[in-house]
Every structure is written in structure tokens, then in C-alpha cells.
Copies of this chain bind each other. A is one copy, B any other.
Amino acid sequence: MINERLDLLREALPYIQRFKNKIFVVKLSGKVTEDQDQLASLAEEMTLCQQVGIHIAVIHGGGKQLSSIAERLGVTQKIVNGRRVTDTETLEIAKMVFAGQINIDIVSALRRCGAETVGLSGVDGSIIHARRREIQEVINHETGQVETIDFGHVGDIVDINVRLLRLLLDNGYIPVVSSLGADDDGNVYNINADTIASEIAAHLQAEKLILLTDVDGILRDRDDAESRISRLTVEEAERLVSEKIVSSGMLPKIASIARLVRRGVRSAHIINGQKRNALLYEVFTDEGAGTMITAS
């Protein structure tokens, strides 16, 4: 019995060798981080990956938790076409929820597994140099009206500085970065976590970008959970987009992944972080758990 278990360990060897000293950028969605048991399980998977020699960097946002605290504080949230308008009060809550609550939850879950971890936001070490998003004319998908929207303290990424991340990765730490950035005047901005994950993956020349979401990957038929596409190229993904096979919620993810893979990251993965062992599937099996997108 034990012998069979040990034989299983041997099967892990080629995977360990393949990914030795490679960088995986893992993006955790709010749905994944809010369930403490799921987070504990994922922390163990990430620690295991790190212990066998993979460098892990974690990025997270936390829109769901932000909305919940905002409601408790009586701060109304305005969301246009799925994008949050971040007024001054909301920014304060974002700082508290992203960099305080969720970040420490992730860090302490990793610490319980014995991993050396450092919680950061994009403001630290000038990781994310951002600028305020300009006021835009937007067609409100709900109303169909053109609106002039000031997204407030929402920022767009101007540049990424990975010096601090490299320093921490080289010294055995798992950096955990919440989705805030700043400009050179120290103004803090709320920034899209998917975009941060992509940009950091590109600047670190990561092997993989792994998006841990609450969906099983890209479905050929969005009503059929069994129609998951396990592997496709950037070109195929873009064809799915143009043929409107993928849902609109997937559009920005696929666009950002396409750019990323063209910038040298070997592959991007959309997997369901709510399923046990989702991350280990990607590292220790050939089939994988979600959808893997590669350059060719």
C-alpha cells in the first residue's frame, strides 16, 4: 500500500524537473479567496509547488469582499459595464479590503503551510506605476445610453518594476500582491487584477500565468459544463471570440492572455480554483484541469 503511494511520488519527478526554477504567476479571484477552506487548500498546493522548486507569485483583487464591506459602511457602489467607479471612500475601502483583509488571509494561509511569504500591494517597491484613467464616453450596456464616466481612483498601468519581486523570489519568498498601484505623486489607484497579473507575468518572463477563477475554463457551449476546451492556441481563442462562442465576460481575459503569450510567457491557464487540486493538476499531470492557451 505504502509502496504504491511512493510509486506515485516517482511519477511526479518529470514534472518537477520540467518546471524547476520556472516562475508561475497565480491570480486568485475574489470567489476563491473568500472561502477559507478553499484558500487553505490552495495555499497547500502553492507551497508544495514552491517546495519542489517552482517560483510562485500571487496576485489578487477582491471585488466581492469590497462590495460587502462597502455595503456595511453604507457606501453605495456604482458599477458601469462591470467596472467599478472608485470614489474616494471606495478607494479607502479597497485599500482596507485588498491590502488588509484579503492579503493577510492569503499570507497567513501560506504561513500555516510553512511557506515564507510577503504580502504586498502594487504601491510597494514601485511595482505598479499607474496613472488615473481618463474620463470616458461609455455606452452603458444596461441602459444603452452614452454616459460620460469618471472612474475616479481607477488607474491604468504605465509601467511595471519587478526588482522587488525578483529580490523576494530569489530569496525564497512567495510575494502576494494586491491590486493597487500608485503614480509618482503617491496617489493610490484601484487597478484591474487580471491586467496586473498579465503584466507582471510578462515582465517576469513567467513560464505560466494561472487564473484561478470560479469557472472550469473556456466552454465550447457555455451551457454544457462538459464542453470545456482543454487546450487551444491564441489564434484559436481569438477565433472563438470573433465567432462569439465565448461569453463576453471572458473577452477581456482572452484579449489580455493573447497579448501576454505573444510577449513570451509560455502559456496561460484558466482553471477553477474552487475545485480541490486544481493547481496540482496543472503541474503534475499532462491533461490539466482547465483551459490552457499557448502561442502555437
Per-residue CB contact flags for chain A residues 176-198 toward chain B (1 = under 8 Å, else 0) read: 00001010111110000000000
A121 interface hit (Cβ, 8 Å):
yes
| CB-contact partner of A280 in B9, B73, B112, under 8 A | B9
- The interface stretch among A10-18, A142-150, A211-219, A225-233 is A10-18
Question: How many residues of A are in contact with the other chain, CB < 8 A?
Answer: 70
Residues on B with beta carbons closer than 8 Å to the beta carbon of A284: 6, 9
A281 to B3, CA, bound (A): 8
A99 to B102, CA, bound (A): 10
A171 interface hit (Cβ, 8 Å):
yes
- The interface stretch among A40-48, A200-208, A240-248 is A40-48
Per-residue CB contact flags for chain A residues 142-179 toward chain B (1 = under 8 Å, else 0) read: 00000000000000000000001001000101000000
A99 & B109 in contact (Cβ 8 Å cutoff): no
Give this chain's copy count: 6
Report the minimum CB–CB distance from A19 to chain B (whole Å): 10
A3 to B8, CA, bound (A): 12
A112 & B51 in contact (Cβ 8 Å cutoff): no
A100 interface hit (Cβ, 8 Å):
yes
A252 interface hit (Cβ, 8 Å):
no
A90 interface hit (Cβ, 8 Å):
no
| CB-contact partner of A100 in B98, B107, B277, under 8 A | B98
Report the minimum CB–CB distance from A205 to chain B (whole Å): 21
A92 interface hit (Cβ, 8 Å):
yes
CB-contacts of A69-120 with B (<8 A): 69, 72-73, 92, 95-101, 103-104, 107-114, 116-120
If A12-B9, A72-B73, A124-B118 touch, whether A109 touches B186 (CB-CB below 8 Å) is yes
A120 to B100, CA, bound (A): 10
Q: List 14 A-B contacts (CB under 8 A).
A: A5-B11, A13-B47, A16-B48, A17-B51, A52-B52, A53-B53, A69-B96, A100-B100, A100-B103, A112-B185, A114-B184, A118-B164, A119-B120, A167-B167
For the complex with contacts A98-B100, A107-B121, 4 further pairs of A-B residues with Cβ separation under 8 Å are: A2-B285, A7-B277, A9-B284, A100-B103
